[in-house]
Amino acid sequence: MKPRVMVVDDEKINRISLCAQMEDAGFEVAAFDSPFPALERLRREEWDVVVTDLRMPLLDGVSFLKEIRKIRPETEVLVMTAYGSVESAVEAMKSGAFDYVTKPYQWEEMEVRLRRMLSHRKVSQEVVRLRRELEDRDRFHGIVGNSPAMRKVFERIRGASDAVHPVLVVGETGTGKEMVADAIQRTGSRREAPYIKTSCSTLSREVIESELFGHEAGAFTGAVRQRRGRFELADGGTLLLDDIDDVPMDLQVKLLRVLQDGRFERVGGETTLSVDVRVVATAKARLEDLVAAGK
C-alpha cells in the first residue's frame, strides 16, 4: 500500500512540481490550494502525512495545523516556510508539526524528511497497538492483573474455556470466583450460547431441586404448571452453579448423574431428559476436604 501524502500549497507551480516528484517516488498524493477542502478530505479519509505551506491566505499554516490535530491527531505534518520565517516554523513544531523545510528546497531533502516521518508514524502505530494489547492482556474479561500469579490464572482460564468436563473454581468468599467463571464462559466456543447462573447457597432444599431440574404440573403444592429448570435452560451452553458446596447431600446423587451423563427427570416427572450443558461450579472450600469431613 502506497504512503498517502496530502500537499496543501497556494503556489501552483510549487504544488504541481512537488506532487509530481512524490508520485515518481511511489507516494499516493492529493493536492489542494487551500486548507479548507483539505480539512474536509481529512474528515473523510485517513492520510499518513500532510505537507503544507506555512503562509496561505484565509488560514495560516499554524491554525491549519491545529485543525488537523483536532481531526487526525495521528497524521504527521511537515511545514514549508520561506527562509526568513523559520521562527514561524518553530512555532508550528511546538503546535505539533513533525518537521519543516525551507523554500527553496531540494527534493532529496524533502524525501528524506518524508521517509523519516513515515517511519515515525509506523512506530507510533505499533506502540499504540502494543499498548492496547497490553491493556487487553491486563484486563482479561474484567479481571485486572499483571503479576505472574494472575497470568497463571489467565492461562488456566483459557485452558478451561473449552473443557468437556465440569470446571470447578475454588476460593474464599470475595476472591472473584464468579468473575473467573464468567471469563471461562466468554473465552470458550460456547460464549454465544445460553449462560445460566444459579446460587446454591441462597435456595432452600425444597426449592433448589425444582430450580435446577424443573418440575411437572402438580408435582407439589403450588406447582400449577410445568416449569423448566436451569439445566434445560442452559442446554447447549453453560450453567454456573455458584457455591456448589452448599447443595444438600440428598440431592447430590441426582446432581452427580446429570454431571456424568447429562440425564435427569423433572421433579414429579417420569420422562428422562438429556441436555448438553457445560457446568462451571464454584466452591468456598476444596470438595475433597468436605468429602473427607463427611459433609
pLDDT of residue 168: 95
Higher-pLDDT residue of 123 and 131 is 123
* Residue 99: per-residue pLDDT: 87
Q: Are residues 109 and 182 in the same domain?
A: no
Q: Of 50-64, 126-140, 242-256, which gets the smallest average pLDDT?
A: 126-140
230 pLDDT more than 80? yes
Q: How far apart are CA 189 and CA 42, in angstroms?
A: 40
The reported pLDDT for the residue numbered 145 is 78
CATH label of the domain that carries residue 203: 3.40.50.300
* 120 and 210 part of one domain: no
pLDDT in tens, 279-288: 999 999 888 9
The pLDDT of residue 112 is above 80: yes
Q: Domain range holding 11?
A: 4-136
Q: Do the beta carbons of residue 212 and residue 277 sit within 8 Å?
A: no
* pLDDT number for residue 119: 92
Helix (H, G, I), strand (E, B) or coil at 169: strand
- Taking residues 44-73, what's their average pLDDT? 87
pTM of the full structure: 0.55
Flag whether pLDDT at 203 surpasses 60.
yes
Q: Is 145 part of any domain? A: no
Residue 153 covered by a domain? no
Checking if the pLDDT of 84 tops 60, the result is no
Please indicate, yes or no, whether residues 54 and 102 belong to a single structural domain of this protein: yes
Q: Average of pLDDT values for 116-124?
A: 91
Tell whether 35 and 71 lie within a shared domain: yes
* 245 occurs within a structural domain: yes
DSSP string, 226-249: -B--HHHHTTTSEEEEETGGGS-H
| Nearest Cα to Cα of residue 47 among 77, 78, 22, 75 | 75
Instruction: For residue 208, give the H/E element and its range.
Output: helix 205-213
41 and 126 part of one domain: yes
> Rounded to an integer, what distance in angstroms lies between the CA atom of residue 216 and that of residue 286?
35
The answer as to whether 226 is a domain residue is yes
| Segment (H or E) for 92 | helix 86-94
Q: Which of 100, 120, 136 is the last residue of a domain?
A: 136
| Dihedral over Cα of 156, 157, 163, 166: its sign | positive
pLDDT computed for residue 135 by the predictor: 64
Task: Say if residue 100 is in the same domain as residue 169.
Answer: no
Stretch 95-111: mean pLDDT? 87
Are 113 and 225 in the same domain?
no
Query: For every residue of 271-286, which 3-state class applies, written as one string?
Result: CEEECCCEEEEEECCC
Number of domains comprising the chain:
2
For residue 172, what pLDDT band results from cuts at 50, 70 and 90?
very high
96 and 179, same structural domain? no
What are the grid coordinates assigned to 273, written together? 431428559
Cα–Cα distance measured from residue 29 to residue 90, given in angstroms and rounded to the nearest whole number: 26
Residue 122 lies in a domain: yes
Among 136, 170, 185, which residue terminates a domain?
Answer: 136
Q: What is the pLDDT of residues 11-56, one digit of tens each?
A: 899 999 999 999 999 999 999 999 999 999 999 999 999 999 888 8
92 and 172 in a single domain? The answer is no
**pLDDT score for 83:** 60
How much is the mean pLDDT over the chain? 89
Residue ending a domain, among 88, 104, 136, is 136
Q: Note the pLDDT tens digit of each residue in 233-279.
A: 999 999 999 999 999 988 999 999 999 999 999 999 999 999 999 99
Shared domain check, 227 and 190: yes
Residue 69 lies in a domain: yes
The answer to the question of residue 141 being in a domain is no
Tell me whether residue 154 is in a domain: no
pLDDT of the residue at 115: 94
pLDDT band at 169 (very low <50, low <70, confident <90, very high): very high
Q: Which residues pair with 32 in a beta bridge?
A: 8
So what's the pLDDT on residue 128? 82
Q: Is residue 68 domain-shared with residue 190, that is, in the same domain?
A: no
> Is the distance from CB of 99 to CB of 119 less than 8 angstroms?
no
Is the same domain home to 120 and 31?
Answer: yes
Give the pLDDT score at 139: 61
